[in-house]
Amino acid sequence: MTRAAVPAAPSKDPARIARMFDAISPRYDLLNRLLSAGLDQRWRARAIRTLRLTGRERVLDLCTGTADLAIAAATASGGHAARVVGVDFAAAMLDLGRKKTRARGLDRRVPLVRGDATRVPLPDASVDAATIAFGIRNVERPERACAELFRVLRPGGRLAVLEFGVPRAPGVRQLYLWYFRRLLPAIGGLISRHNDAYAYLPESVGAFPEPEAFSALLSQAGFVALAARPLTFGIVYLYLAEKPA
């Protein structure tokens, strides 16, 4: 089953998106936990496990936001990274992320850098693995971000991407769309006091490519060993890929 119609894509001007995330940054983590019923932490842990980290790797977390995934990669009990570089273009989000890394004594192992996903401030073939959680749909030119992820990965490097999807099972799909289009924007707007940001969320998810199309985008960037795994009935997809050895 495919979506009946793809809504017009909302504006993803980088300056606009950065301002929007900066505006909601004080309540961003709280709303992530509340609106996902805590599942966002499980999704991130699942993504980290797929990287099969051994404690020696250098990892890039692109669109790191407040650094939840970067911190998870550096502290995962089943295998963690030696160093995680988080990159984002929203300054207030990064400030909150730095407070979190300092509180955990991770500020040296998890440096956070302001930068653009389409011009990652890292050298070619400089990381062993890369992640991006709920950020690729906010990039104006996602194909460029995919190309940058490919560029900075070493040969054989692994990529894990988490992004929202739309469930395909009848019943679940209708219930989810009601929640996502009606209830979530109302709760998010009330708590964050920024209605536009939580109206943008369902718009951006609805306009994001289907899993097959996004996998094709990764393939065009050069990635192999592609997989798109639905999590929690397809509310979220975990995309896996590798740079050829």
Domain of residue 118, CATH code: 3.40.50.150
Report if residue 232 sits inside a domain: yes
Report if residue 211 sits inside a domain: yes
Residue 55 has φ and ψ, to the nearest 5°, of 100, 0
Report if residue 194 sits inside a domain: yes
Range of the domain at 69: 14-242
Report if residue 1 sits inside a domain: no
Percent of the chain with pLDDT over 70: 96
C-alpha span between 139 and 209 (Å, rounded): 13
> What's the pTM?
0.91
Report if residue 220 sits inside a domain: yes
Q: Which of helix, strand or coil describes residue 161?
A: strand
C-alpha span between 200 and 175 (Å, rounded): 19
- The helix-helix angle for 14-35 and 184-192 (nearest 10°) equals 110
Report if residue 9 sits inside a domain: no
Distance of CA 49 to the CA centre of its chain: 15
Tally of domains within the chain: 1
Residue 8 clears pLDDT 60, i.e. is over it = no
Sign of torsion over alpha carbons 28, 227, 76, 149 = negative
Report if residue 69 sits inside a domain: yes
Residue 32 clears pLDDT 50, i.e. is over it = yes
C-alpha span between 52 and 98 (Å, rounded): 26
The chain-wide mean pLDDT, for the chain, equals: 91
Residue 10 clears pLDDT 70, i.e. is over it = yes
Report if residue 87 sits inside a domain: yes
